[in-house]
Structure 1
Amino acid sequence: MRENEIRVIIKSNNVILEFPKCEILTSAFIGKNGYTKNKEEGDGCTPIGKFSLGLMLGTHSNILNEKYNYIKINNNMYWIDDSNSKYYNRLVDVTKVKRDWNSAEHLADYPVQYEYLIEIKINELNNPNKGSAIFLHCSNGESTQGCIAINNKVMKKIVENINENTKINIILQNK
């Protein structure tokens, strides 16, 4: 259902995010190196395509959404971006797994951007070097490493209104 689809429209001079379900139309930031149809780890590009949403996390104790599971970020949480790790492109709690990675994103280090965060499942099979830690998250006013970033008040509204059927469609519009 299109009303329950988050659309990110990349135009030549700007990026727009719309979510008709809750009447959202806002500007957005994408990867510092633009966009790609062939995502590679560390390329700084936002992937083009239609994707499912995954985990939802944030810095708040709870949120107003009973239809989607929410996890509060703690100091033990890392998202693994080392392609050689068996945990590649996964959230781990370092107190519960044996470390086998050389590179990971410590989620607690980004309290502004990750006030609210939703995983975009661009690499559902966790294939090595095909992209990790791609999220829809709050903006710090700058381009991203491949994520999509928007104003935190708008992000809060999205977090409160998504469900397990919500998809994100990142499209290039050449007009």
Structure 2
Amino acid sequence: MKRLLPLLLLATALVTGPLPASVAAPAPAAAATTELVRLDGVTVRLKPRTTQVVTVNHTRGHHARVTFWALSHGEWVARFRAVDGRIGYAGLVAPTERVQGSGKTPLGTHRLPWAFGTHARRDGWETSYRRIGRDDYWVLDNASDHYNEWRSRRQGGFRWRLPASDPNASEHLRDYPQQYEYAVTTSFNHTQVRHRGGAIFLHVNGRGATAGCVSAPRWFLRRLLGRLDADRVPVIAIGR
């Protein structure tokens, strides 16, 4: 969605107070069964084989605490945290009740499929990382078969000429060089329900609230891109 004016690092004192103690993982279950775990007060619906989690705990207004967790020897360990994360300017909403352009961030657990940004891919980043080109958009045109997908102007199939004021305007990714310097996609609305919106990412903080995404400081996203591993099925869990 359109951006407005927009963990405690283990080795540096970026915030005060200790990271929470590690949390024991739930007992193993059948592969098809969803497991629940509470991390920093947020309920996480683990996918099969998930061993990396980002939690987003709403604190006040459009602010949130954002923590990266990893499963280690049967316990969930907080690896790093930012206390100055952001959510949408209109707050939080159940995923199925979200409306495009509402400025609300969808609650719940979502996959973190792949990352993108303004830099060339670096060693240690997933090979699925994509670098933004000048003609790249995220399609939010409700009349397009490519709704809520990355698409270039050259590929077509959406009305890229629509002005930003149009409710069907797509995001020109290069228009957000600060927020999208480092970003990770989420699986929100991967079924492409029209008018529910899309382009819900975890990205670098802008000057204020987001228009539905989750954002965190630049250092957090840069560090996260070096840690995320698709084989560990990472997810983001957003709570109140």
1:4: how far off? 1.0
Return the alpha-carbon distance in structure 2 between the equivalents of residues 49 and 154 of structure 1.
21
The answer for the alignment partner of 1:161 in structure 2 is 227
Map of 1:9-158 to 2, 5 A cutoff? Answer: 9-12=57-60, 14-21=63-70, 23-26=79-82, 27-37=84-94, 38-100=97-159, 102=162, 103-158=169-224
1:12: how far off? 4.0
Q: Is the 1:136–1:148 contact (alpha carbons within 8 Å) kept by the matching residues of 2? A: yes
| Change over 3 Å in CA distance of 1:60–1:15 after alignment to 2 | same
Q: Secondary structure at the match of 1:158?
A: helix
1:141: how far off? 2.8
Return the alpha-carbon distance in structure 1 between the equivalents of residues 55 and 127 of structure 2.
19
1:100: how far off? 4.0
Opposite residue 23 of structure 1, the aligned amino acid is R
Return the alpha-carbon distance in structure 1 between the equivalents of residues 205 and 125 of structure 2.
25
Q: Secondary structure at the match of 1:155?
A: helix
Q: Is the 1:117–1:138 contact (alpha carbons within 8 Å) kept by the matching residues of 2? A: yes
1:66: how far off? 4.5
**Greater CA drift, 90-99 or 152-161:** 90-99
TM-score by length of 2: 0.67
Q: Secondary structure at the match of 1:23?
A: strand
Opposite residue 53 of structure 2, the aligned amino acid is E
Identity across aligned pairs (percent)? Answer: 26
| Change over 3 Å in CA distance of 1:98–1:51 after alignment to 2 | closer
**Greater CA drift, 90-99 or 74-83:** 90-99
Q: Is the 2:115–2:129 contact (alpha carbons within 8 Å) kept by the matching residues of 1? A: yes
**Greater CA drift, 108-117 or 47-56:** 47-56
1:46: how far off? 0.5
TM-score by length of 1: 0.90
Return the alpha-carbon distance in structure 2 between the equivalents of residues 58 and 33 of structure 1.
26
Where do 5+ consecutive residues of structure 1 fail to align? none
| Change over 3 Å in CA distance of 1:60–1:121 after alignment to 2 | same
Number of equivalent positions: 172
Q: Is residue 170 from structure 1 mapped to residue 238 from structure 2 by the alignment?
A: yes
Q: Which has the higher helix share?
A: 1
Return the alpha-carbon distance in structure 2 between the equivalents of residues 30 and 68 of structure 1.
28
Where do 5+ consecutive residues of structure 2 fail to align? 1-24, 26-36, 38-50, 71-77, 163-168
RMSD of the TM alignment (CA)? 1.8
Return the alpha-carbon distance in structure 2 between the equivalents of residues 20 and 112 of structure 1.
25
Return the alpha-carbon distance in structure 2 between the equivalents of residues 117 and 12 of structure 1.
23
